[in-house]
Chain A
Amino acid sequence: MSHRTKYGRQGPGQSRQHRAATAVSASSASALARLGAVQERAHRGLIAAQNVDGGWGAVSAPPSETESTSLALLALSCSSTEKARGSVQNAKAWLLERQRADGSWPHSDAVPVSHWMTSLAVLALARSPEERPAAERGARWLLGQEGRGHSWLTRLLFRLFPEKKPVDLDWDLTGWPWMPDTFSWVEPTSYALLALKSLRAGLSDPRVEPRISEAERMILDRTCAEGGWNYGNSTVLGEELWPYPDTTALALMALQDRPRGDEIQHSLSALERMSEANDSILARSLAILAFQSYGRDVSALRTALVLQLENGDFPLETRAAAFAALALQMDANPLQLSRDA
């Protein structure tokens, strides 16, 4: 009885593009021209996928939703073409029209509830001086949100019988949840940190620094044994969980302005290993953005991404397409935090 067949156990490996990338000099004029062409194609693809209402759907079709619209806006903000500027204005209008009275953003028109995607809308609007007030209202809503913890009784029981804890983490550390009133997870916490850090200097709210500090500790507490992050646990029932490249890259970006101690280096090394094993466009793009935010040389990875995009279709998923467009950006990566933010 076998599980191995034509389709089974394919497993990712190092791609042809990655191997080829090592043979291509990223600094050559032709490589730069190719990068520019692919980047332009990425921007054109995003513009073409924009819905008539100004937003983007998760794939190239309606309905528009906040995550995809925010990421596409971030990516197109880096382009200076006339078409991109028009697209950016329409995207901003889509977001501004949907901001809720409490400052948050909904998932979409179909799901009109305050949502984790608020962090992305804040991040996308924070760079624009005229939209900054809207971004700051969103940031203040974020400051009022936190992951739900266990009841005092459960905490007491886990304290008395620590060996019974199903997951090994510090229950007292709080970050941000996906949905209000649920547990804190690494990805929404990373986005919230990036959003708050991008507005840090202007918020003048006493909650900012304590929330940032606690969320950073929460993320570090959830680090997998081999470095990097799973969705939010490092172990379940005593079994170690393996890290994911996309979650790891986002967490590293959220921690980019912290002192780069051993724990960060450990996760950067884990991301390097994962980048060898997973060559999806999303994983590779996020790895580039994360390494770039730590000042690492990403030329080989970026060349591999260029080859990958030249040789295949652009991703249908807006999220992957937007991160790819951002990863092709040679400078002005909007996910890099400036020290005076």
Chain B
Amino acid sequence: MPDRREFIRLGSAAGAGAVAAVSLPACRREEKRRWSDRAYRKAGSSKVAILPADSYEGDLRDVVTVGLRMFPLEIAGRRVVLKPNLVEFDPQGVINTHPALIGATIESLRTLGASEVVVAEGPGHRRDNEYLWRASGLAEMLSDTGTPYVDLNSDAVRPVRLASDFTGIGTLYLPQTILDADLLISMPKLKTHHWVGVTLSMKNLFGIVPGTVYGWPKNLLHWAGIGSSILDINASLEVPRFNLVDGIVGMEGNGPIQGSAKPSGVLVLGADPVAVDATCARLMNIDPSKVAYIREADAFLGNASAERIVQLGASLEAHQKDFRVLDAFENLKFDAMSFESRTAAG
């Protein structure tokens, strides 16, 4: 009997709420290269920092500043756009990048000389921004720090020719706030995802796709395939980028909305989104080489293999947690024996 992922693949796309996981059948990959030279960003190696951070109450600004200084980032005099993960609100849940971390990052960037810091997001589920800002605590943080917010769902847009062709979409209309940024920082939450396994810094960029053009929940991308869309969007953004993952409290199980809190006590930083996401997957006890879109991104967008990642800060093994996943994704996990021996060694 076919399993759930087989159904989704056979269905070629998806219906409501979702679906159309990763349409990256192996035979298609072998046929031809699906990305242009302009999409190639893979370096010889990539640095990723893991920084311990136990709570949202401490002085996160200092932790973030230490982390940012580990990388040769040009921040002084630059307009920096922070793209958190703000999707939905559940009073019992941990869906969104925590406002305290966003606030700490704003302060840190100002300390480092950023000329302007903007928070920008296009929530994937809710159109009621006022509700989402207030309920999530983002409104109060933005007010306290005097930071402007741009709703990417309704921002002015420009057409962007995609630099890869996993979806066949060809062109996406994307927000000017993102395209004109001097530096774009993707700030996802460390979460499992019920269609593609994990949602991290690359998947977080679904939020830049404008809802007023493509609908909620970014339905065109679901039809085109979530994994394929992640690759096309990340391949086609040519603004300087950085990634800062909120892993202080992550989400396990039925993420990205209805999962459970998973305290993990880390921030993960790096310029290479593939290396950052691969490291995050390993922190969640998930083998990134088994996550289809990360494996595909490793061919041209960045480095997923551990051998090509220069680990900074704390050791990965010391902070690795066994994130619960849906049954359909059990095959993505490192085997239990290997997990125990690694964490014991760490």
Q: A2-B56, A8-B56 are in contact. Are A282 and B220 (CB under 8 A)?
A: no
Q: Is B81 an interface residue (CB 8 A)?
A: no
Q: Is A339 an interface residue (CB 8 A)?
A: no
Q: Is B33 an interface residue (CB 8 A)?
A: no
Against A, the Cβ 8 Å flags (1 = close, 0 = not) of B1-40 are 1111001101111111111000000000000000000000
A10 touches B219 (CB 8 A): no
Taking CB atoms, residues of chain B closer than 8 Å to A67 are 212
- Shortest beta-carbon distance from A143 to chain B in Å: 20
Residue with the highest number of chain B CB atoms closer than 10 Å, among A111, A188, A242 = A111
B140 touches A10 (CB 8 A): yes
CB under 8 Å from chain A, chain B span 257-309: 258, 261, 263, 265
Taking CB atoms, residues of chain B closer than 8 Å to A246 are 127-128
A280 touches B128 (CB 8 A): yes
Against B, the Cβ 8 Å flags (1 = close, 0 = not) of A231-273 are 1110011010110111000000000000000000000000000
- Shortest beta-carbon distance from A167 to chain B in Å: 5
A183 touches B130 (CB 8 A): no
What is the chain B residue whose CB lies nearest that of A66? B212
CB under 8 Å from chain A, chain B span 238-263: 248-249, 254, 258, 261, 263
Q: Is B310 an interface residue (CB 8 A)?
A: no
- B4: which of A5, A117, A166, A231 is its contact (CB, 8 Å)? A166
Q: How far is the CA of A190 from the CA of B135 in the complex (A)?
A: 26
Residue with the highest number of chain A CB atoms closer than 10 Å, among B13, B94, B138 = B13
Please tell me which stretch of A57-65, A122-130, A288-296, A330-338 contacts chain B, meaning at least 4 of its Cβ atoms lie within 8 angstroms of it.
Answer: A57-65
Q: A166-B4, A237-B326 are in contact. Are A231 and B56 (CB under 8 A)?
A: no
Q: Is A216 an interface residue (CB 8 A)?
A: no
A2 touches B55 (CB 8 A): yes
What is the chain B residue whose CB lies nearest that of A110? B157
Q: Is B156 an interface residue (CB 8 A)?
A: yes
Q: A3-B98, A244-B126, A280-B134 are in contact. Are A111 and B213 (CB under 8 A)?
A: yes
Q: Is B44 an interface residue (CB 8 A)?
A: no
Residue with the highest number of chain B CB atoms closer than 10 Å, among A148, A169, A232, A233 = A232
Q: Is B331 an interface residue (CB 8 A)?
A: no
How many A-B residue contacts, CB cutoff 8 Å? 192
Q: Is A39 an interface residue (CB 8 A)?
A: no
A11 touches B212 (CB 8 A): no
Q: Is B158 an interface residue (CB 8 A)?
A: yes
Q: Is B131 an interface residue (CB 8 A)?
A: yes
- Shortest beta-carbon distance from A313 to chain B in Å: 11
B16 touches A7 (CB 8 A): no
A151 touches B156 (CB 8 A): no
A59 touches B15 (CB 8 A): no
Taking CB atoms, residues of chain A closer than 8 Å to B157 are 110-111
A278 touches B131 (CB 8 A): yes
Q: Is A1 an interface residue (CB 8 A)?
A: yes
Q: A2-B55, A8-B100, A179-B214 are in contact. Are A237 and B254 (CB under 8 A)?
A: yes
Q: A5-B98, A167-B15 are in contact. Are A183 and B216 (CB under 8 A)?
A: no
Q: Is B324 an interface residue (CB 8 A)?
A: no
Size range of the interface on B? 35 or more
Size range of the interface on A? 35 or more
- Shortest beta-carbon distance from B238 to chain A in Å: 19
- Shortest beta-carbon distance from B37 to chain A in Å: 28
B158 touches A231 (CB 8 A): no
- Shortest beta-carbon distance from A26 to chain B in Å: 23
Q: A58-B154, A164-B2 are in contact. Are A5 and B134 (CB under 8 A)?
A: no
Please tell me which stretch of A73-81, A154-162, A201-209 contacts chain B, meaning at least 4 of its Cβ atoms lie within 8 angstroms of it.
Answer: A154-162
What is the chain A residue whose CB lies nearest that of B221? A182
Taking CB atoms, residues of chain B closer than 8 Å to A107 are 212-213
- A3: which of B17, B131, B249 is its contact (CB, 8 Å)? B249
Q: How far is the CA of A185 from the CA of B125 in the complex (A)?
A: 12
B137 touches A10 (CB 8 A): yes
Q: How far is the CA of A244 from the CA of B249 in the complex (A)?
A: 26
- Shortest beta-carbon distance from B319 to chain A in Å: 12
Taking CB atoms, residues of chain B closer than 8 Å to A2 are 55-57
- B223: which of A110, A148, A153 is its contact (CB, 8 Å)? A148
What is the chain A residue whose CB lies nearest that of B133? A280
CB under 8 Å from chain B, chain A span 1-22: 1-3, 5-12
- A12: which of B126, B135, B155, B159 is its contact (CB, 8 Å)? B135
Name 30 interchain pairs, CB-CB below 8 A, sorted by A.
A1-B248, A1-B249, A3-B248, A3-B261, A5-B98, A8-B56, A10-B134, A10-B135, A10-B136, A67-B212, A107-B212, A110-B158, A110-B159, A117-B212, A151-B11, A154-B10, A161-B1, A167-B18, A169-B16, A179-B213, A182-B222, A183-B15, A183-B219, A183-B223, A185-B215, A237-B326, A241-B17, A282-B130, A317-B129, A317-B130
**A residues lining the B interface (CB < 8 Å):** 1-3, 5-12, 57-59, 62-63, 65, 67, 107, 110-111, 115-117, 148-151, 153-154, 157-158, 161, 164, 166-167, 169, 171, 177-179, 181-185, 187-188, 222, 231-233, 236-237, 239, 241-242, 244-246, 278, 280-283, 315, 317, 320
11 more A-B residue pairs beyond the given contacts A184-B16, A317-B129, with a C-beta to C-beta distance below 8 A: A5-B100, A8-B99, A11-B89, A12-B131, A111-B173, A157-B7, A157-B10, A183-B16, A245-B128, A317-B130, A317-B154
